[in-house]
Amino acid sequence: MTSSVSAMLTSLRRTFDEGLTRPLEWRREELRSVQRMLREGEDELLEALHADLGKPAAEARLTDLSLVAAEIDVMLRNLGRWSRPERVHMPAMQQPGHASVIREPLGVALVISPWNYPVQLLVLPMAAAIGAGNCVVAKPSELAPRTSAAIARLATRYLDGRAVAVVEGGVAETQELLGQPFDTIFYTGNGRVGRIVMEAAARHLTPVTLELGGKSPTIVDADTDIAVAARRIAWGKFMNAGQTCVAPDYVLVHRAAADELVDALRTSVRAFYGEDPRRSPDYGRIVNDHHFDRLHGLLASTEATPAVGGGSDRAQRYIAPTILTGVGPADAVMDDEIFGPILPVLEVDDLDAAVRFVGQRPKPLALYVFSRSKESVEKVLAGTSSGGVGVNCTVVQLAIPGLPFGGVGPSGMGSYHGRHGFETFSHRRAVLSKPTTPDLPVQYPPYTAAKEWLLKKLL
């Protein structure tokens, strides 16, 4: 394995050094090929996503395929503008001259993706790397094996094998890749593996982008439209059976609105998935037995009351959409990111208490606040920190190409989407160009009294 990975990397680096990926037209054509891969391979990918995660076709198309294709449209429209040199101000002391920042590709990028959105979270950063002019090694998750295999087949068929490679496999293959001297590493997943990636990258001083997670809170003020808040919270939470890094992880609701919110959440779950979500074609499944057992263990260990759901079936890897009430801050479901269809609801006395609760915990990837009051929203924004924020919405902030998507602190470092992805996979190179005349002697030694006087005036 070592020799084959090393040979692959040597071949990709030769491709990069020969300049194949630098011309904008090559980048554009390769991005169009990615779009064709998603469009013409749609049936194969949808079938694989359903086999791995029970994803309904409409949800998979929306969250895994269409979102990526739309982002590539943005790249194609703007690639020329993003790539142009950016002129910067020249101080008087440095005149005459011309200063600019040029974007150049980093080289060979490694993209490691998770299993929960195995197309989107692999192909979108791949596309950003290609758009910035890099060669790419893509490592899909072995926990979504059907999707991994489908992407590997399709990439061979549609993408330029001189510049793009897909490496399948598990932990051993990932470790083998991390031992190689890549020019940048983009990892999406959990914090534990993120530390391993960062440690491996440090051996080669390789820059990393880490898209992690965390317990994304949802604050519901008493003055909001509870029915709308409940629908949007339930949709964001139970999409993909709760296996979404930006899903609402828990709710902090004003005590005066708690009962109404729980009732509205119950109504929303029933409207989405019927009386028995197990029979719904629109509700997914837990990815494997390990994660099922983890989530089932959380439900078994809590003393909180399932106001909605609570049922499970290991044979189907099914856990019902579950709303927990009576949850305390020390409950096990409040320790780590749940990453499943379990939503704790905690009551708070006021907005200040909710802000304090969030501020005392690690910075999450996303934060949601539902309120009609601009002042309340501003209080939440001023008193908390998170990778991103949704006001009166959940999850959809990542579908805006102009917004950077990424975490802060333990929820990640670096960002992508739209131009932010192009910048993540680019080096911003400083260039200063000066004519050879005039060549004023005042800057050179020996520094006479007259020169010092003039330099003081100029500086």
Contacts of 375 (CB under 8 A, 6+ apart): none
Place of tokens 């999450």: 364
Q: Which two tokens stand for residue 457?
A: 């005036």
Task: Quote the distance between the C-alpha of residue 300 and its chain's center.
Answer: 31
Taking phi first (over 0 means left), then psi (-120 to 50 degrees means alpha), and beta for anything else, what does residue 370 get? beta
**What whole-number distance in Å separates Cα of residue 402 and Cα of residue 357?**
30
**What whole-number distance in Å separates Cα of residue 207 and Cα of residue 212?**
16
For every residue of 27-85, DSSP letters joined together read HHHHHHHHHHHHHHTHHHHHHHHHHHH---HHHHIIIIIIHHHHHHHHHHHHHHHHHS-
What residue spans of 339-430 are helical by DSSP H? 351-359, 374-383, 418-424
Phi, psi angles (nearest 5°) of residue 439? -125, 85
Run of H or E including 347 = strand 342-348
Looking at the annotation, which residues are catalytic?
Answer: 211, 245
Query: 190 by DSSP, 3-state: which?
Result: coil
**What whole-number distance in Å separates Cα of residue 235 and Cα of residue 229?**
10
Q: In what order do the strands lie in the sheet with 322-325?
A: 305-308, 322-325, 342-348, 250-254, 217-220, 366-370, 388-391
**What whole-number distance in Å separates Cα of residue 425 and Cα of residue 105?**
6
Q: Do residues 372 and 346 make contact, with C-beta atoms less than 8 angstroms apart?
A: no
For every residue of 76-99, DSSP letters joined together read HHHHHHHHS-EEE---GGG-S-EE
